[in-house]
Amino acid sequence: MCESWKMKLDTYLDGELPSEEMRAFDAHVRNCATCAADALARVQMKRSIQAAGVRFTPSAEFRKRVERSIASRQRRPLSQFLWTAVPVALALFFVIGLGIAYKRQENLRAQQVYTEVADLHVAALASSTPVDVVSTDRHTVKPWFQGKLPFTFDLPELASSDFTLVGGRMAYLEHNPGAQLIYQIRKHRISVFIFEDAPLRDLPSNSTRELSFSEQTWSRGGLRYFVIGDASPTDIATLAKLFRSAS
C-alpha cells in the first residue's frame, strides 16, 4: 500500500515534489513507520555521502600542485624531444655535409687523375720519341721494365687481334712510377698505363669515360689500369678486355 509513496521517496527527500504532495507526504511519513524508517535511512546515507565528499575535498593549494604537476608533465616530452632532436638533427646534417664534401673531393681528385692520365697520353704521342723501348714483341717490352718498377705485370697476346704493340716507356702519375704501353689499331694509338693501386685506391674500381678520349680504368691484383685513346669506345673496351684476361 506504501509502494506509490516509496517510489516518490527520493524526490520527496530532495524537496522536488509539488507543495501539495509535499504536505501529503509529510503527513504520511508521520503516520507510517515503514516509510519513516526508509526515509531516515536514505537521509543518513545522503548525509554520509555529503560528509565524505567534504572530508576528501582537496584544498586549493593541493589542487594547484596537481595542476602544476600535470602541466610540467605535458611540457616535458616536448622539451625532452627538443633537447634530443636538435643535437641529433645537427649531427645528421653534419654527417651529410661531410659525406657531400667528401664525395665532391673524391670526384675532384678523380677528375684530376683522369686529366693527368690524358695529359700523359698526349705528351707521349706529341714526343719525338713516344716510347723508350721500341718493339712489337711483348717478351721484349715487359723485361725492359724490370728493375725500374716496384711491381710486375703481364701483357696480352695480340696475335689474333687487330692491335699492334708499338713499345713502352716510364710514366709518373702523382709522382708514382708506372708503365705506359702504346698500341696501334688502324690509324689510332692507345695508351695503357699500369700503376700501383694503393695511391689510387679511392678511384672507382671500374669506370668507363668518354670525353675527348675514350677511357677505361679498373683495379686488379694491386694494380691500377688505364686504357685511353682516340680510338672508338669498342676498340678501347676490346683492348681492356685483353688486358683483363692477361692479368
Domain count, the chain: 2
Write the CA distances from 53 to 13, 41, 129, integer angstroms. 19, 18, 111
Condensed to tens digits (0 to 9), the pLDDT of residues 160-195 reads 899 999 999 999 998 899 999 999 999 999 999 999
Residue 10: what pLDDT? Answer: 77
Considering the domain architecture, whether residues 44 and 118 belong to the same structural domain is answered as no
Other beta carbons less than 10 A from residue 212's beta carbon: 9
The residue with greater pLDDT, 39 or 209, is 39
Question: Is 182 part of a structural domain of the chain?
Answer: yes
For position 145, which CATH number holds? Answer: 3.30.200.100
Q: Are 144 and 133 in contact (CB under 8 A)?
A: yes
- Asked if 220 and 196 touch (Cβ cutoff 8 Å), the reply is no
19-73: pLDDT as tens digits: 787 778 777 777 787 777 777 777 767 666 665 555 556 667 777 777 777 766 6
Residue 31 lies in a domain: yes
Mapping DSSP to helix (H, G, I), strand (E, B) and coil, where does residue 73 land? helix
Q: Give yes or no: residues 119 and 239 share one domain.
A: yes
Give the predicted TM-score (pTM) of the model. Answer: 0.57
Task: Give per-residue pLDDT as tens, 75-85.
Answer: 555 555 555 65
Is 35 a domain residue?
A: yes
The domain of 174 spans: 111-246
Whole-number Å distance between alpha carbons of 145 and 165? 15
The residues facing 223 across adjacent strands are 196, 220
User: Which stretches of 42-163 are assigned E, i.e. beta strand?
Assistant: 133-134
The runs of H, that is alpha helices, within 127-197 are 138-144
